[in-house]
Structure formats: C-alpha cells, structure tokens
A and B are shown apart, each in its own frame.
Chain A
Amino acid sequence: MREVAIIGVGMHPWGKFPDKTFVDMGVEAVNKAIDDATMQWKDIQSMVSGLWAWGGGNGFVAGQSLAAVMGETGIPITNVFNMCATATSVLRTAYQVVASGEQDICLAVGLDKSPKGFFSSLGRPDSTDTDYLRWKMLGLTNPGYWAMECRKRMEKYGTTERHLAKAKVACSKHAALNPDALYRKIFTEEEVLNSPMVCDPLRLYMICATRDGAAVAILCSAEKAKKYTSKPIKIAGVGLGSSLYGDPTMRLGWLSTISNGESPLLSESAMSARMAFNQASIGPEDVDFVELPDNSSWHYLQYLETIGFCKPGEAEQMLEAGETMLGGKLPVCPSGGASSSGEAVTAQGLAQVCELVWQLRGQAGERQVQNAKVGMAQTYGMLGNSAAVILKA
C-alpha cells in the first residue's frame, strides 16, 4: 500500500437548513474542497460518499446525486453506510482506493440532514429488527442508552454530575475560539447542571444536538500531492472496528447484552483505535490532540479510556487537571466537538478530519494546538461500528 495524503478539505456549516437539500450542502462542501486543493472537478478520479439514510433512492446513492450536479464523468462512486461511523468509514474506503494504486485521487464525502429531536427507527416496522423494537416496545432513545452506561460509570468510578458538566464546559471553551462552531457560548458548570434533565443522569447540555452538515476531504497519492498543495497531510493510519463477543456495553439498538463479558466496553471502538495505532506504528502517547465522538459527557470521559489516553477510571482526573484543554497535554475536541456544533450523523467523521487538517497545517487560528504534528479522530455508530483515523503533518 502506498502513502496517501489529504490535499484539500471543505465544509458546509453545521446547522439547520430546511431550504437546502442534502445535495445542495454536499456540493457546497465539494466545491470548497476542490478550491482548497487548487484543482477542478474533472481532476477527481473517484468518489466515496456516505449515503443519506433519511431519504429514499437518491439518498442511498448520495455520491451519484452529487455527481449529477458537479457534472457526470463516469468515475467509480462507492456509497458507504456505517451509522454514525459512516464518514470516517468513507475516509478509510477512499484511502484504500488510493493506497491500493487503483486511483491517484479520491474524493471523500460525508453529508447529513438529521431529523428534528430524537432519532426514531431507521427502517420499516419489523418485529425482528431490535432497533425497531426498542422504539416500539420501550421508547428507549439514544441518550437513554448512554444515560444507563453513564450511571454504571458513576457507580463504578465515582463520576459526578459535576464531571459531566465540566466536559461540556471544556468543549464550549474551545468552541468559543472557533468561528465555524455553531454554538460559541462558554457555558458555566451551573448552567449545565441547571439545564433540564433529559435521560437521568444526562441533562440537556450534556447531550449533543443533531444538525445538518457536509464535509469533504480530497485524497491523493503522496508522491503527486505536492502538485496541489504545499502542505499535504499524511494519512498515517486508519482503523475500522466491529464489536467483540462478550462486550458488556448495552449496545445502541439492541435489547440484550452479555452481563459480565470479558471484552472491553465499547469494543468496536477499542478495535478501531488499536487498528489505526498499529497502522501508524504509534501509541496513544504520541497523539497531540484528538477529535473524539463527544455525543454526550459520558462519551467524552469514556473515550479517553477506550482509546487508551488514560487508564480506566482516570478520565475524570485528566479533565479536572486541565489536560484536555488547549495548552494541556492532550487537547480534546479543539473544534468544540459535536457538543458545540451538533452531530450530523453521516458527516461527522469528515468534519473531524477537516479540523485535524486545519490544525496540522497550522491554520486553526485562535484554537491552534501548539506543535500539532499528530492528530486523531474517531467516531462510533450504533449497532457496533467505529472508525478512527490518524493524520500527521
């Protein structure tokens, strides 16, 4: 496999855009990335796109729908879906297209228009679909699952409500420095603790919102990258993971789990992180900053341990010691995270990649991580999906 670099990135802002289609947002992000890479649409040799799950036929082949607007050139287009890990999975597939030598240039697209409020069942009513059953029979929302894991953590390690509030405050301080973040207000712990309870123990400001967005990265073989950019960002490692038998996590979309399994919690995420580290030949201690999947304050703490940045039970100390802030040992979500911009499910991973690229190029303005050389991004999706990527300056 040959070396691959990212030569251009572009993002459509995160927010709610009722007057825009998923194609409108995707095309805007594609054009920004193409301009960033000083190239033209006709230079794009292949595409991998996240599929848009909330629409119909056109959404299932989102890549083709974008190509129709950009101008059809007959290139190979793959559409990928791995729940909330879709966009990072898109990046991995695009990476393989170029690393294998099949193509020199591949466009990686993530886009989403999320439905308002809680997500509901994805597919048609089906009594053998546990994701349908958890809605029909229990009304169990995604934050409800996270809240149960959070309560387990609180009882095991003594995590408090205040720790959960601190995670939100930390992300908001980074968002305040990011002109592209949707919510730039710095929260106080009190404001978070006084926000309405949604799924006990998770309060409103401890849970990320859902939003629309699109993000794009253009991948190129490393040897040809200098033709397009003076600062190609190298893809050092990509990982994709699925669950291990015996993972005690009560998995989003399931109704039962192994009670006292021998596999790690969030095993699909442990697997994807490890795979990315192995490919990059580095360990967690070599990472300068991370965009982790901060869907809730529980995730913020749990992922520090799952990825391996600290030992089990020590995430709260990392947070309290300021290690996860800009200027600290391991800035977490320097962009402000999903906490500050909302999650656009099938686009999120590529928004993380955009942030990694800007940081590694030294283009992150007031939120610049000093001496950023190695960045990591990870997403995880329901029913056992996770993907991770490590980029190097």
Chain B
Amino acid sequence: MSERQRYPAIDGLFTWQEDVNHLIGGKCESCGSFCFPKSSNVHKPGCRETQVNEVLLSRTGKLDSYTIQYYPPPAPFISPDPFEPYAIGLVSLPEGISVLGILSGSKPEDLKTGITVELLVDKLYENEKGDEVLGWKFKPI
C-alpha cells in the first residue's frame, strides 16, 4: 500500500514544510510595494523596477471583512463532500496589504470583523489516492 502524500495544490504560494509557515508574497525593494502572490508583481506609479523579491508575509492579521458562501463553487475548486457553507475572509497584514483566505476554526456564524487571525496551512481536499492536497487558511486566535 503506497503512502499517502501531502503537498500544496499549487507550488510557490506558501511554505508548508516548516514548523511555522508563511504566505509567499512579493516586495519591490525600490518602491516598497507588497503583493500576494508574488506573481501579481505590483509597483507604484513611477517605480522603474519591474520585478519583486520573494518575501514571507506576516502570519497574523486583522479580519477586515468576510463572506459565507452557501453554494459549492464550480470547478476548479474541489469542495468537501458533503458541502458545508464556508467563510472566506479579507485579512489586513502589517505589511499594508490585505489578502484573501478561507477561514477555518470557527463556525461561520460566529465570525466577526476586527478579530485577529493567524495563517494555517491545511487540507483543501483529498485526491483519489487519498493524498492531502493543501491550501492556506486563516483561523481566529
């Protein structure tokens, strides 16, 4: 029987093998702009730099807003079976950017804006072989 594997759904968006993991974002060393993911490559008008450097983003932030989705999204998203309504949040980080992430660790009805949340690398879904395919989420602390 082959061993179950554990790996990110997409590489390069977050670290996942460390004790403490981070979202991998981008920072322009010239204009100071941050972005997530790194491939977004955002700069301020007038900046002559065209690339960003890889940075590990802060793990904790403030929940600025969220929604609860009541219907299973279409492919390519793979929902748990059976589907349960789930929350997605907008989290502001000390870097001055806000990032999106699935919210876990609390009932969606119990969420409130303004709470502090922390990054979590967690299972998005299991594939046919039983491998755990990972994504990033935030949970209240």
A198 CB-CB contact with B under 8 Å: yes
Q: CB of A197 within 8 A of chain B?
A: yes
Whether A147 sits at the interface, judged by CB under 8 Å, is yes
Chain B positions 51-104 with a Cβ under 8 Å from a chain A Cβ: 64-77, 79, 88-90, 92-93, 96-102
Taking a contact as CB atoms under 8 Å apart, the answer to whether A141 and B98 are in contact is no
* Chain B nearest CB, measured from A390 CB (Å): 27
Q: Does A20 contact B (CB under 8 A)?
A: no
**A250: B residues at CB distance < 8 A:** 65, 90, 98, 100
Identify which of B13, B66, B75, B101 contacts A151 (C-beta below 8 A).
Answer: B66
* A260 touching B96, Cβ below 8 Å: yes
Task: State the CA gap A386–B113 with chains docked (Å).
Answer: 30
- Inter-subunit contact A136/B77 (CB<8 Å): yes
CB pair A199–B70 under 8 Å, yes or no, is yes
Using A128-B39, A151-B67, A255-B100 as known contacts, say yes or no to A120 and B136 having CB atoms under 8 A apart.
no
Q: In the assembly, what is the distance between CA of A130 and CA of B89, in Å?
A: 16
Which of A137, A245, A255 has the largest count of B CB atoms less than 10 A from its CB? A137
CB distance from B120 to the nearest CB of A (A): 14
- Nearest-neighbour CB distance to chain B for A202, whole angstroms, equals 8
Complexed CA–CA distance, A140 and B9 (Å):
16
Q: B11 at the A/B interface (Cβ < 8 Å)?
A: yes
Residues of B within 8 A of A155 (CB): 113
- The A107-166 residues at the B interface (CB cut-off 8 A) are 117-118, 120-121, 125, 127-128, 130, 132-141, 144, 147-149, 151-152, 155
A residues in contact with B73, CB < 8 Å? 118, 120, 135, 139-141
Are the CB atoms of B65 and A135 closer together than 8 Å? no
Indicate if A75 sits at the interface (CB-CB under 8 A).
no
Chain B minimum-CB-distance residue to A254: B40
Q: Does A259 contact B (CB under 8 A)?
A: yes
Is A258 in contact with chain B by the CB < 8 A criterion?
A: yes
CB contact list, B103-141 vs A, under 8 A: 108, 113, 124, 135-136
Question: Which residues 13-61 of B have a CB within 8 angstroms of A?
Answer: 13, 25, 34-37, 39-40, 42, 44-45
User: Measured between alpha carbons, how far is A260 from B90 in the docked complex, in Å?
Assistant: 13
Given contacts A118-B73, A137-B10, contact A197 B68 (CB under 8 A): yes
Say how far B20's CB is from chain A's closest CB, in angstroms.
Answer: 20
Contact bitstring A218-261, B, C-beta under 8 A = 1, else 0: 00000000000000000000000000010010100011111110
Assess the A258–B97 pair: CB atoms within 8 A: yes
Which residue of the partner chain A has the closest CB to B76?
A: A136
Q: Please give the distance in Å from A253's CB to the nearest CB on chain B.
A: 11
A125 to B11, CA, bound (A): 13
Contacts of A200 in B (CB 8 A): 67-68, 70, 108
Interface of chain A residues 309 through 333 with chain B (CB within 8 A): none
Scan A192-220; emit 1 where CB is below 8 A from any B CB, else 0. 00001111111000000000000000000
Whether the pair A138, B67 counts as a contact (CB closer than 8 A) is: no
Contact between chains at A256 and B97 (CB < 8 Å): yes
Write the chain B residue with the least CB distance to A248.
Answer: B98
Does A133 contact B96, Cβ atoms closer than 8 Å?
A: no
Tell me the B residues contacting A by CB distance below 8 Å. Answer: 9-13, 25, 34-37, 39-40, 42, 44-45, 64-77, 79, 88-90, 92-93, 96-102, 108, 113, 124, 135-136
List 5 contacting pairs A-B, 8 Å CB cutoff, sorted by A.
A139-B73, A144-B88, A148-B66, A196-B70, A245-B45
Q: Which residues does A use to contact B, with CB under 8 Å? A: 117-118, 120-121, 125, 127-128, 130, 132-141, 144, 147-149, 151-152, 155, 196-202, 245, 248, 250, 254-260
Give 9 A-B pairs besides A120-B73, A245-B45, A255-B37 with Cβ atoms closer than 8 angstroms.
A118-B73, A130-B39, A133-B10, A136-B9, A140-B88, A144-B88, A151-B65, A155-B113, A256-B97
**A-B pairs with the 6 shortest C-beta distances?**
A139-B77, A139-B73, A147-B67, A128-B39, A256-B36, A200-B68
